[in-house]
Amino acid sequence: MQTDPYRIKPGETVVLPDRPSNDTDGYDGDKADALDLINEQSAKLFDLQQLLYADNTRKVLVVLQGMDTSGKDGTIKHVFKMVNPLGVKVANFKRPNDVELEHDYLWRVHRNTPASGELTIFNRSHYEDVLVVRVHDLVPEPVWKLRYQHIRDFEQMLDDEGTVIRKFFLHISKDKQRERLQERLDNPAKHWKFEHGDIEERTYWDAYTDAYEEAISRTSTIDAPWYVIPSDRKWFRNLLVSRILVETLESLDLTYPEPAQGLDKISIPD
């Protein structure tokens, strides 16, 4: 599987409708075969995450963004199903609370970034402050426009301090969103996922598309790249994200620490 076509190059202008949300990279196997591949990648991710934790010199930040129903929760559930909870955490960024609103918009984000040896997943992120605030006119345009540079500088600082950043936009079609929202209404077991606000947010589809296109285009860098992940097919979304993370961790040249001296002379007593 080639992952580079999904990576946004620095300076590249993103036009989301030009990127098929149902792409499968030419994969012609059946879904069962794909699930076997996902499990294979998950096993590799388990080993690499253990190595990241043991090496304790690097940090990995995974950013998940996407329209409602694009599969942020599902990606976390399936891609990271085999990782050891020790050394992995998930940070969810919903509407800021009163304390968070008293600080700058990056305050709540920075305090959730990974420590050495950790892999942290952002379910939504600091990008909400150039997405929701833009679409709903929560702050003046000159304010949110400055934030692209803030974000690039913030992510560069994290990279300089040893954090590896991979950002994923889970790309679904408007038709697929309608289908998934309807499924939440039709299936009583999924009623808890449905919010009345989902319908109103759907009316802002084009505005969110514009906001995502600009955010991705202006903040995909060499050290903190965006990947646009076709997500109409959940299995391909999970497979591609898994593969990118495995490639990323394999590239870090991680090693287990040297064992303590004299272990060969120790015998565990009865």
The rounded percent of the chain whose pLDDT value lies above 90 is: 81
Token couple for 164: 């590896």
User: How far is the C-alpha of 47 from the C-alpha of 102, rounded, in Å?
Assistant: 41
DSSP designation for 264: G
Closest CA to 255 of 117, 72, 89: 117
Phi-psi region of 169 (alpha: psi -120 to 50; beta: other; left: phi over 0): beta
pLDDT of residue 241: 96
> 80-100: per-residue pLDDT in tens?
988 988 899 999 998 999 999
pLDDT of residue 29: 66
User: How far is the C-alpha of 207 from the C-alpha of 131, rounded, in Å?
Assistant: 9
The rounded percent of the chain whose pLDDT value lies above 70 is: 99
Q: How confident is the model at residue 268 (pLDDT cuts 50, 70, 90)?
A: confident
> 187-231: per-residue pLDDT in tens?
988 888 888 888 999 999 999 999 999 999 999 999 999 999 999
Q: Where are the domains of the chain?
A: 4-252
Q: What is the average per-residue pLDDT within 161-168?
A: 98
Q: What angle do CA 94, 98, 99 make, to 5 degrees?
A: 95
pLDDT of residue 264: 76
What lies within 8 Å, CB to CB, of 236 at 6+ separation is 23, 24, 25, 27, 34, 230
> 109-157: per-residue pLDDT in tens?
999 999 999 999 999 999 999 999 999 999 999 999 999 999 999 999 9
H/E segment holding residue 100? helix 98-101
Phi-psi region of 229 (alpha: psi -120 to 50; beta: other; left: phi over 0): beta
The structural architecture, per CATH, of the domain 4-252 is 3-Layer(aba) Sandwich (3.40)
H/E segment holding residue 148? helix 141-160
